Amino acid sequence: VIFPRPDDFHVHLRQGAALALYTQDLAANFGRALIMPNTLPPVRDPAGLIAYRDQIVTAAQSAIPAGGSFIPLMSFKLLGDMLATNIAPLKAAGAVAAKLYPQGATTNAQDGVAEIETLFPVFQALQDENIVLCIHSEDPQAFCLDREKAFLPHIRSILQAFPRLRVVIEHASTAEAVQFVLDGPDRLGATITVHHLLYDLDAVIGDHLQPHMFCKPVLKRPEDKLALQHAVSSGHPRFFFGSDSAPHDRVKKECDCGAAGVYSAPVALPLLAEFFSTHANQTTMQNFIARNGALFYGLPLPGDQPGAGTVELTEQPWTVPAQYHGVVPLAAGSTLGWSVRPITKGKS
């Protein structure tokens, strides 16, 4: 099966020496990715955004297969002290999305937003500049399995207050979030990760404690997983792929205060190929990874971009490595039914 090199609309590439390695793992298979801004310090101004993008572009070069390309789509982090006047310069620097983290919701979110309403002038500027608002939809005060659901009323009020603002619920993990998107307007979408699509909480604590499956939002109940699977296999256009691939060194996962995040960039495509081969079909898969998100964001489709290149998925067993540069990936050590073969020629 041959696809245009696909889009990943939610990925963490970190910073420092590891950034190059994580970028290369991603750029081997994906043609574009929305880069999350939760670095230290966060991506929050034009200079920081441009510097981070330059690092990623440089790092990707050695991993892009001949005849392909890799484009980092940049986001910035919304902070409580941000002003509406900060937004237009970020747009001019190339930002396509703003990321809202409720305070304390996930990695490096201690500086997240405590009172959403204080940011309404900024949301007005996002709407005026046609920047997508991406939301980590969890209320950190709620019980862990209820956090996503507890945040949905905030999203409803944002949608009501800003009638043209495009909003994405990132890494949707519950049946309630799926239904909220289905009931919502066309300018409301959701990304879905491969781990929330294929696993539930049993994979984290059902048998032995599996720190490499611990992420935020945490994996949920089987019926939540089924709701996500149904949304994806039905081909609904407002659900699209965002891996939330979030590498942490093995030592930061296997300890007494383990970090949240699943490293899925190197394994996402074979896992998705397995899922779609049994639950849907190739066209639905291509729409999920290389069409729906681009249309929602108003970007050229991956297959329409000159020189974007293609990726081939073959039904050839592949054993996932135990580690990538000290990070244990999703499905480490297991043998999958599909593997990725980057193609060395351009658009077919």
> What residue number has its CB nearest to Zn ion?
244
Residue 312 phi/psi, 5° resolution?
-115, 130
Catalytic residues: 244
* CA angle at 167 for the pair 192 and 9, rounded to the nearest 5°: 40
**169 vs 313 by CB, closer to Zn ion:** 169
Q: How far is the CB of 312 from Zn ion (least distance, A)?
A: 28
Q: How far is the CB of 171 from Zn ion (least distance, A)?
A: 6
Cα separation, 261 vs 215, whole angstroms: 4
**191 vs 229 by CB, closer to Zn ion:** 191
Cα separation, 104 vs 144, whole angstroms: 13
Q: How far is the CB of 218 from Zn ion (least distance, A)?
A: 13
Please, are residues 152 and 177 in contact by the beta-carbon 8 Å criterion? yes
Q: How far is the CB of 148 from Zn ion (least distance, A)?
A: 13
Cα separation, 78 vs 99, whole angstroms: 6
**74 vs 308 by CB, closer to Zn ion:** 74
Cα separation, 120 vs 58, whole angstroms: 36
Cα separation, 279 vs 281, whole angstroms: 7
Give contact residues for Zn ion (rule: CB under 5 A).
244
Beta pairing, strands 71-77 & 310-314 = unpaired
**263 vs 324 by CB, closer to Zn ion:** 263
